[in-house]
Amino acid sequence: MGNDRWQVFRSLYRETDLWVAAGREYSLTDVEAFTKQRVIYYRNILEDHIRRQPGFKTSLVPVSELTDTEPLIAEMYRASSAALTGPMAAVAGAIAQFVCNDLTDEFSLGEVVVENGGDIFLKLEDEAVISVYAGTSPLSGKVSLLVKPEETPLSVCTSSATVGHAFSTGKADACMIACRSGALADAYATSFCNKVKSRDQVQETAEEALKKPDILSVVIIMDDVVGLGGRLSFQFA
């Protein structure tokens, strides 16, 4: 992403660490300040809800939704119920989506990419390539998703049992899911990553994921085995 197409910055607040690429229509200072403001706003919503519903933070399975929840929280509950994960499995993708949408609304930006711990939400005016990082797998960086502008806004989220600090009960090096919803893509990535316990489960898990109507594409990598498919285009190195 280090090119003339975007202006790029990081926005950090507590555990949230966003990488943002935005079009050059507006001052980077203004875009960066607004991003930080929105991150704090959504973090406050999240922390307030956790105080009301402590199980929201710690549960690994869906929990009962409280009434009168903010849209961010409601989206996380919906994703949790669909993917059968805890609500926090959807948090990074949800925040990426809400911040991206706020940026495009506030500044009328033609292109915005928000990455949050391996979970991406993007709006494009030209094609972009997203390569799948899979740690020490020989296939890391060899499989890429080609995203066309007409396919956005789009979320592309990745979960891993071998990369990063996120908890996983599976063994996949990478499970990438593309959906319209950031929360759904994030929760489904966690759910299907958890299902892969051995190399011979990679393809069948990818096929199972593609049966979900909300999932547009999937890539699952374990060691030198990959399972993939869906409506979006792929590139291979």
What pLDDT was estimated at residue 123? 97
220 has which bridge partners?
Answer: 175, 227
Q: pLDDT per residue over 96-130, tens digit each?
A: 999 999 999 999 899 999 999 889 999 999 999 99
For the chain, give the mean pLDDT. Answer: 95
Percent of the chain at pLDDT > 70 equals: 99
Centre a 10 Å sphere on the Cβ of residue 112 and count the other Cβ atoms it contains. Answer: 25
pLDDT band at residue 2 using 50, 70 and 90 as cut-offs: low
Give the separation between CA 203 and CA 218, rounded to whole angstroms.
Answer: 10
For residues 151-159, average pLDDT: 97
Distance CA 133, CA 66 (A): 36
pTM to 2 decimal places: 0.95
- CA–CA gap between residue 124 and residue 16 (Å, rounded): 23
Residues 6+ apart with CB under 8 A from 11: 17, 18, 20, 32, 35, 36, 39
In CATH terms, the fold of domain 7-236 is T-fold (3.10.520)
Q: Given a cut of 90, is residue 231 above it in pLDDT?
A: yes
| pLDDT category of residue 37 using cuts at 50, 70 and 90 | very high
Chain-centre distance for alpha carbon 108: 22
Average pLDDT over residues 38-46: 97
Q: What is the pLDDT of residue 1?
A: 62
Residue 207 pLDDT exceeds 80: yes
- Can you tell me whether residue 4 is helix, strand or coil? coil
Neighbouring residues of 74: CB distance < 8 A, sequence distance ≥ 6? 65
Q: Where are the domains of the chain?
A: 7-236
